[in-house]
Structure 1
Amino acid sequence: MTSIASLSAAELGPLYAAKELSPVEVAKDALARIERFEPEINAFVVRDGAATLAMAEASQARWLKGEALGPLDGVPVTIKDNIGVAGWPMKRGSALASDAPWPEDAPATARLREAGTVFLGKTTMPEYGWKGVGDSPLSGITRNPWNTTTGPGGSSAGAASCAALNLGCIHLGTDGAGSVRIPAAFTGVVGLKPTYGRVPAYPVSTMGFLAHLGPLTRTVADTALAMNAIARPDERDMTAIIADPIDYVAALSGGVKGLRIAYSAKLGGDVPVDADIARLTREAALAFRELGASVEEVDPGFADPLETLMVLWSAGAALALRSIGPDGRAQMDPGLVAVAEAGERVAGSTYVEALLNQRNALAHHMAQFHARFDLLLTPTLPLPAFEVGRNTPGHGGYGEDWTRWTPFTYPFNITQQPAISLPCGLTSGGLPAGLQIVGAFGEDALVLRAAAALEAFRPFARVDAPIKSI
């Protein structure tokens, strides 16, 4: 049989049903590999082997009785540290946070528990998820398995590193300006930011309507399986979409023949794009022509909405830190404190202008664009993973602000559209490149169908153990 370390969530269920493999065997294998690789990647803030094995044993008993809860029963998963898990602390990457156990599961966590998944632990993130890299005062530096001198991106840093090494099959993350897609691109995995409200949140993020929850996985099929479980309304989130459930697994079939696809190499901006990234993402985009879609190179035609993002982002950071005084702030990430202090200076009218008028204008512009094109393709990021311990690359080409190297991700948090990052090849330095597929609001199933078509046509490279240098 293929090694456990290479199996996807979609492959585990049939093996459990045939009694060729058990959830306990899979959990023990995952725990052993985490023990082996964790010193090199530092992806976890909570591990509870006894709880993991108890969940696996309960799943195994259900499979033996023929009473499995569904296709995810016994599948190992991880949860980002800003998503509640009953009985485990939620520290959000901050050394100041309490060690007290969180009282209840967040909606997405609850849905995974109800599906019978096995929790491996909680994964690392920068403090309060404020930036696109993976270090924090709480856990230090998380590293990229493709080259441990580089970072996995953030803020869903540990989730992405775990996904790359298949330390669990499904990894819950959050995305307020690219925090699922950024690390997915840097680590060569699939990262979906669903339409806002598709996956409910509780407690609601201080970043408000920017913040989405979504999975990171090794395969599109596993992303679809995760969405079948977590994309359900919850009464604790008033913004959660109320709709008939979509079978995202069934929606993967059908291909892209006849779709109208736009490809934008720079979104109309002037950000420098690494030559390998430009080549790999363009090749992947044009591959859709071979799959029967029309592909036109065209920019969507909007101005960089960074100012809108930062009004909302900084105000959210100010809210997150409002009860923390000078002594506490002195122990926090200085960059987060600076953003929060900028947010304290944002006028209420300026915030409402960004929240309503500017956000709605961009969303309307993209709705008109999608009347012409079913999907928009871009590079997920303009550069491959860079050295750890920095917010921006050391060469200085993107200044000192991390948002300068994420121009392709945050616009679609503002518009709340679904967007997925899909690995599309390796640079000459052996680091992954990511292609972003963006759909119209609510078209999550179409985004996944296109991703599945490309994945089947152009299979992705995998990493099985951390690579210490390239």
Structure 2
Amino acid sequence: MSEEIALMSAIDLVQAYRARRLSPVEATQAAFDRIRTLDGKVNAFCFLDEEGALAAARASEARWQAGRPQGLVDGVPTSIKDLILVRGWPTLRGSKLVACDQDWSEDAPSVARLKEHGAILLGKTTTPEFGWKGVTDSGLTGITRNPWDLERTPGGSSGGAAVAAALGMGALHIGTDGGGSIRIPAGFTGVYGLKASYGRVPAYPASPFNSVAHVGPMTRTVADTALMLTVLAEPDARDANGLPPAGRDWRVGLDGGVARWRIAYAETINGEPIDPEVAARVAEAVQRLAALGATIEPITLAMPGVGEAFAKHWLSGAAALLAQFTPEQRSQIDPGLQKYAEIGSRYSAIDFLAGSKAREGYTVQVNQLFEQYDLLVTPTLPITAFAAGMNAPDSGPYAGWTGWTPFSYPFNLTRHPAASLPVGFARGMPVGLQLVGPAYREDKVLQASRALEAVLPIALPRLR
């Protein structure tokens, strides 16, 4: 019964609370039961606050009993990635260089909104050091593992959040995405993750990779992501890049389907190689969209130089991040991040501005694509999860983390909303489909995702 409760969706939990069939205390206890049973195998959490969570759950229970819930997610167990500030909890960002004994008196905007809506915060999920790469391991917290195969990575940098979602360690999970860090682990672990439009979810303090960084939801269902986005997208004055408030419930229209939509299908971007079994699962999912009434048009998507343009933004951020540390401190940082920061430090202001100019061109290119199409679909990743503890596969043409993530980071540059939805398996490991929408049209991404989810239900790992 505890496992059944732990795997309930946020929407089902709220309905059960309203009907008084279930208590937030029971749901919170069920989440911690799952954490106690499974986290020693997967390492999804780096900080837990069971006492605080149960106190919050009891307060939520009292509100539901009085018929006065506090908000949309009152009583729903939730995790926070360890890059996001939570008042009273350390945010160590996967690094031994962040002092634990400092002032932790502020909530990030996403955390503040969740608390205002009554969410029960369980703890912090693991991230690589400063969230710098597409897998999840660090010298501080060790290696996080994929629940479908413990010898493989769950991806990153929101790997802990993805694993927690897949295993029922909470219903709602905050991730961040500076080049694919929501979509990569969603793809590798078989959960749903949305990188909303840049600025849709307010962020503070700004990420070191601010110009390409997003905050967003990771869940086991599309409807839960729509619910969570409705909460997270409420405005916060601390984000200088925040979009004007949409003032909408992202669940509205979710079941509208894709009939008569024109959908562009790019099997790859820039001709990057893709595992044939991954390509086959993606192609099968695209045919499901066609069966649902959409018109599918295969396209060739060429974005020459997009990797270099992304590097000028991302590596400059890495250089600025490490510049705050002494040479002795920098020597203790993940060697891969040191290497990337060194490259970024060589860029001039002119180089960065050239990258910004190129970014404008890619953004216009994708905007113009959406003058013809309602949606763009691509694979989330060209491969399935590889060995845990490595930054890249040990074979194949996939050097460095951007080498095996060629389909995700272009849309951090263009700022378009993009999600990863699981669409089957290749050799026993999850395969993700990336759905990219027009600027500011998260509703289209969510609506198409929900249509596919209805015919390709999300499967969860049976780790014991």
Name the CA distance, whole Å, in 2 between partners of 1:239 and 1:379: 29
Q: Look up the match of 2:393.
A: 393
SS at match of 2:173: strand
Name the CA distance, whole Å, in 2 between partners of 1:389 and 1:244: 40
Q: Offset at 1:86?
A: 0.6
CA contact (8 A) 1:256 1:292 kept: yes
Q: Look up the match of 2:298.
A: 297
Q: Offset at 1:300?
A: 3.0
Name the CA distance, whole Å, in 2 between partners of 1:387 and 1:108: 32
Q: Look up the match of 2:29.
A: 28
User: Does structure 1 residue 43 correspond to structure 2 residue 48?
Assistant: no
Q: Look up the match of 2:458.
A: 460
CA contact (8 A) 1:10 1:71 kept: no
Kindly provide the CA deviation profile for residues 193-233 of structure 1, in whole angstroms up to 9, marking residues without a partner as x.
Answer: 00001001000111122001111100000000100100122
Name the CA distance, whole Å, in 1 between partners of 2:245 and 2:57: 32
Where do 1:129-278 residues align within 5 Å? 129-269=131-271, 271-278=272-279
SS at match of 1:250: coil
1:5 maps to a residue whose letter is: A
2:414 maps to a residue whose letter is: T
Name the CA distance, whole Å, in 2 between partners of 1:336 and 1:344: 12
Q: Look up the match of 1:350.
A: 351
Q: TM-score, normalised by structure 1?
A: 0.96
CA contact (8 A) 1:363 1:415 kept: yes
CA contact (8 A) 2:89 2:104 kept: yes
- Gaps in structure 2 of 5+ consecutive residues: none
Q: Offset at 1:282?
A: 0.6
Q: Look up the match of 2:77.
A: 76
Kindly provide the CA deviation profile for residues 39-84 of structure 1, in whole angstroms up to 9, marking residues without a partner as x.
Answer: 1001111111111111111111110111102331000000001111
Kindly provide the CA deviation profile for residues 304-350 of structure 1, in whole angstroms up to 9, marking residues without a partner as x.
Answer: 40001111111101111112122112211000011111111110111
CA contact (8 A) 2:34 2:168 kept: no
SS at match of 2:376: strand
Where do 1:101-140 residues align within 5 Å? 101-140=103-142
Q: TM-score, normalised by structure 2?
A: 0.98
Name the CA distance, whole Å, in 1 between partners of 2:230 and 2:255: 15
1:374 maps to a residue whose letter is: D
Name the CA distance, whole Å, in 1 between partners of 2:122 and 2:462: 18
Q: Look up the match of 1:332.
A: 333
Q: Look up the match of 2:14.
A: 13
1:394 maps to a residue whose letter is: D
CA contact (8 A) 1:78 1:120 kept: yes
Q: Offset at 1:396?
A: 4.0
Q: Offset at 1:110?
A: 0.4
RMSD: 1.2
Q: Offset at 1:460?
A: 2.1
Greater mean deviation of Cα atoms: 68-77 or 178-187: 68-77
Q: Look up the match of 1:374.
A: 374
SS at match of 2:130: helix
SS at match of 2:127: coil
CA contact (8 A) 1:90 1:101 kept: no
Q: Look up the match of 2:413.
A: 414
Name the CA distance, whole Å, in 2 between partners of 1:83 and 1:268: 34
Name the CA distance, whole Å, in 1 between partners of 2:182 and 2:94: 16
Q: Offset at 1:385?
A: 0.5
Q: Count residues with an aligned counterpart.
A: 462
Name the CA distance, whole Å, in 2 between partners of 1:284 and 1:327: 50
Name the CA distance, whole Å, in 2 between partners of 1:366 and 1:121: 38
Name the CA distance, whole Å, in 1 between partners of 2:451 and 2:27: 29
SS at match of 1:371: coil
SS at match of 2:47: strand
CA contact (8 A) 2:186 2:420 kept: yes
Name the CA distance, whole Å, in 2 between partners of 1:407 and 1:240: 27
Runs of 4 or more, structure 1, over 3 Å off, are: none
Change (3 A) 1:464 1:61: farther
CA contact (8 A) 2:233 2:245 kept: no
1:379 maps to a residue whose letter is: P
Percent identity for Structure 1 against Structure 2? 48
Name the CA distance, whole Å, in 2 between partners of 1:249 and 1:465: 31
CA contact (8 A) 1:185 1:433 kept: yes
1:358 maps to a residue whose letter is: A
CA contact (8 A) 1:195 1:442 kept: yes
SS at match of 1:3: helix
User: Does structure 1 residue 426 correspond to structure 2 residue 425?
Assistant: yes
Name the CA distance, whole Å, in 2 between partners of 1:465 and 1:304: 42
Q: Offset at 1:101?
A: 4.9
